[in-house]
A and B are shown apart, each in its own frame.
Chain A
């Protein structure tokens, strides 16, 4: 991967954008304070530009910040993030002229949970993770372990439908039409296993999962599609939903959230990544994504010039929505 070249180009372009006054703010990634971690860098200061990085750990979907930043923004996006951005354009949450899109052709993001599992070490005890061609080499004390890339990428990356942003102003690398991993089905393994269960088992599965939800709302707050200024869970007069983390209320919160983001969710995977108690949230959102595609032939964030899914009605629309 040519991260170094992309990074250099990003810094050049971002510096020029600020210098020439074409943007007020740059939103990108910098190295985080923990190993193999990046963190959003949101800055107006040219002096910060050299901190911008591009590497296989840039997991955040930065478009979540667009609805709260003021002024013109230069933003770094991967393919999936660009779709979230396009979806925000479709919903008139962001104006195209106010953003300069710095697109990354993304080969996928490394899932540290998977690396930990495979290497048998936790992330801060791993010495190095390096990506060479089709494999990742993980150095732990005294040995180097090599794993095929498809074993360490995030599930949603394995099923990536748009590695290179379609909507961009500046592309930071050579465009690619796929992430080069030939096992998209792996992206849906967990979901398929769940769908194969009878409804009662599936019900008890989710009951169990939502039992530990703490209602920290990280899944909602990290999600670019969850842009409501007033969320139904915070309606207190009258109260719509009990803030007490009972599994029933937790489930209603998440189901409602999923219904609200269908047609906007781009399968970026941030909800599941953010969850501190490991609830497999993507199993819900990816299924909703599938249903939107099957019923309405709609994939979120692919075309800024068409109206959002939930804002249109065609006489030919499928009526199978409610069963």
Chain B
């Protein structure tokens, strides 16, 4: 695989070149909250402020709302119009290793367990150009989950900041091809690699939040019925949708029709297990209390994902901690989980 480098001032030229083939998506704050939007063809100042986006890149593949198909009604009845299956070629530039990992986790549900045509149409044409972190947040804890600020496992190409330049390491064939087709990069020498190594090590040390996830699945399993514990940790939760909507791996959705004057659209939109309506059924609600709903969120990541896919469904991106209006902290809820024996004794 190729190892190249590029001067930061040449980045716009490179992106322009790539934009002949791809829609380039970069972090942006133009819309009032940081999120991924189509690159304007000029601006690379996001490199100065970008640490991570508030709205995770899952929104590119599973948008907050998405029209699935439209339909109309006439004398003969209802008619469904063909689904809108967009197959864009998107290049996500600067995705953080944790968020690239989140897409790999979403793939397990939307590609492996089910084949979701809407998700896959967008996902399969996408190229992920990762940007190793240099300024992780104090809420980040990726290193506790087997990842790191420079984890290249789920990107096609990884960029590392080495001062005035980026080291560009191709990870997949897609990434290799990106480097083949450009004239603005040059082959990286030993010096660039040494600087990248230093940059990566410094970033690794900056991730200071740690949790112990050893045996977490079993610990949660044995504490599932520990109502006292879950009630206590849930007391200050306000049951809003922030930590689920903005979680890069939460994928629950709802389906709604809008039907006006014989014409309608079917949408799917993000839903959240934090909402009482989420589990409301005609006869009952199996999770009427907020502690049950909060437990669901934690268990989905740390118990059910390991059960179904043998992997923890959290990337340690820290969004749920830093965006929570009451600073509810999942790492504390997991750390303070009563010991297995203690929970079993209570049963």
Contacts and interface: CB of A to CB of B under 8 A. Distances in A.
Interface of A: 32-35, 37-42, 60, 64-65, 122, 124-125, 208-209, 211-212, 214-218, 220-222, 234, 236, 239, 242-246, 270, 273-274, 276-279
- Among A60, A212, A218, residue most surrounded by chain B Cβ atoms (within 10 Å): A218
A42 to B, nearest CB: 4
Contacts of B32: 208-209, 212, 277-279
Contacts of B33: 212, 276-278
A241 to B, nearest CB: 10
10 contacts: A37-B327, A39-B327, A214-B245, A215-B241, A222-B238, A242-B256, A243-B269, A245-B269, A273-B325, A276-B323
B240 A245 contact: no
B148 interface: no
B277 interface: yes
Contact of A218 (B236, B240, B267): B240
B193 interface: no
Nearest to A239: B256
A64 B239 CA distance: 12
A32 B139 CA distance: 11
A62 to B, nearest CB: 9
Given A39-B328, A217-B240, 12 more contacts: A34-B138, A34-B327, A40-B236, A65-B235, A122-B51, A209-B32, A220-B240, A236-B277, A243-B269, A244-B258, A245-B65, A274-B240
B164 interface: no
B327 A32 contact: yes
B272 A216 contact: yes
Contacts of B191: none
B326 A33 contact: no
Contacts of B280: 236
Given A214-B241, A276-B246, A222 B276 contact: no
Judged by DSSP, the binding face of B is: loop
Given A214-B245, A276-B33, A124 B137 contact: yes
The size class of the interface chain B forms with chain A is: 35 or more
A60 B237 CA distance: 12
Contacts of A34: 138-139, 321-322, 327
Given A33-B327, A33-B331, A215-B241, A243 B135 contact: no
B294 to A, nearest CB: 13
A234 B276 contact: yes
A273 B324 CA distance: 10
Nearest to B243: A216
Interface in B26-71: 31-33, 35, 51, 54-55, 64-65
Nearest to A215: B241
- Among B239, B246, B325, residue most surrounded by chain A Cβ atoms (within 10 Å): B325
B171 interface: no
Interface string B227-251: 0000000011011111001100000
- Among B33, B135, B239, residue most surrounded by chain A Cβ atoms (within 10 Å): B33
Contacts of A211: 31
Contacts of B325: 60, 218, 222, 270, 273-274
Contacts of B107: none
B270 interface: yes
Contacts of B267: 242, 244
A33 B240 contact: no
Nearest to B136: A124
Contacts of B276: 234
B225 interface: no
Interface string B249-288: 0000010101000000001011110011100100000000
B240 A214 contact: no
Contacts of B323: 276
B54 A243 contact: no
B65 A277 contact: no
Interface in B295-347: 321-323, 325-329, 331-332
Contacts of A222: 238, 240, 325-326
A257 to B, nearest CB: 13
A282 B167 CA distance: 45
Contacts of A278: 32-33
Given A209-B32, A244-B256, A276-B33, A221 B328 contact: no
A122 B272 CA distance: 29
B242 A243 contact: no
Contact of B242 (A37, A65, A276): A276
Given A34-B322, A212-B32, A277-B55, A246 B65 contact: yes
Interface string B136-155: 01110000000000000000
Contacts of A42: 235-236
